[in-house]
Amino acid sequence: MSDGQRIIRVLLGKAGLDGHDRGVKILAQALKDAGVEVIYTGLHRSVAEIVATAVQEDVDVVGVSILSGAHMSIVPELISALRTQGAADKKVVVGGFIPEEDERQRLKELGAAEVFDQDMPLAETVAAVRSIARSREARSWPA
């Protein structure tokens, strides 16, 4: 980036059987338009595949889009797998259809940096992801 800050790297994934990816593709484009490097894993990925890609690509934020209702099983598994792989510094964000306010709070208690409602304005989501990535511990990058 021209302002001297390093480029934020975000991985977006669709874990499990959820086959709805229009929203995550729209978010990916909005993040790219905001100068964020985006890696999209595609549909029907396992948590292990998402974590392996996050570690390999050394991303700042791992975002999962869930419309299937499996958030209370996928997100804890994802956070645990990141910790197991020594990647607990990667921030996890969750978006999609998360129906109950208490479930959103529980996901944060389990380690999600943020839980986005499917109706949150795109510009707010992008700003929040950028802020979360910037809050991640600073590290040096190879030249």
* pLDDT exceeds cutoff 70 at 137: no
* pLDDT exceeds cutoff 50 at 105: yes
**What residues contact residue 73 under an 8 Å CB cut-off, 6+ apart?**
none
Residue 82: how many CB atoms within 10 A of its CB?
Answer: 22
**What residues contact residue 82 under an 8 Å CB cut-off, 6+ apart?**
51, 54, 55, 62, 88, 90, 92
**pLDDT (tens digit, 9 = 90+) per residue, 7-53?**
999 999 999 888 889 999 999 999 999 999 999 999 999 999 999 99
What is the structure's pLDDT at 16? 87
**What residues contact residue 2 under an 8 Å CB cut-off, 6+ apart?**
none
Mean pLDDT within 49-77? 96
Where do runs of H (alpha helix) occur along the chain? 22-33, 47-57, 71-84, 101-109, 122-135
Mean pLDDT, all residues of the chain: 91
* pLDDT exceeds cutoff 60 at 2: no
* pLDDT exceeds cutoff 80 at 4: no
* pLDDT exceeds cutoff 70 at 138: no
- Greater pLDDT, 44 or 99: 44
In angstroms and rounded to an integer, the radius of gyration of the C-alpha atoms of the chain is: 14
* pLDDT exceeds cutoff 70 at 63: yes
- pTM score: 0.91
* pLDDT exceeds cutoff 60 at 3: no
Q: Which of 123, 117, 128 is nearest to 30 (CA)?
A: 123
